Amino acid sequence: MINDKNLVCHDCRKLFLFSEGEQQFFAQKGLTNLPKRCPNCRLSAKFKRNGENLDELHKVDCATCGALTMVPFKPKENRAVFCRACFIANRAAKDDVPAMAV
């Protein structure tokens, strides 16, 4: 059994969770090294690599877990915004529910 791990981000020096699900994903992809960056710093690095403007990122609190996250769109006040982990978990939960017959 794999346990969640707390890691320190190489860029911002903050603790972040390397969850059991992420560890399984890394194993499936054959990745053996632990991530060096938190999800927000990974997103920032990806934007920089692709030459995209970091000014277009918006900081928001996840509607599920409350974690601070950055999104590449301006959130609407009446819509929930999720961090990457909660977004994936919500999508997986929806996929598990059988569709209703019409």
The answer to pTM > 0.75 is no
pLDDT, tens digit, for every residue of 69-100? 888 788 888 889 988 888 888 887 777 655 44
Q: Cα(first)–Cα(last) distance of the chain, in Å? A: 41
Over residues 31-72, the pLDDT tens digits come to 999 999 998 888 888 878 887 776 777 888 889 888 888 887
What CA–CA distance (Å, rounded) separates 20 from 2?
Answer: 6
What long-range pairs does 88-93 form, CB within 8 A, spacing at least 24?
Answer: 88/21, 89/64, 90/64
Residue 41: CB atoms within 10 Å: 19
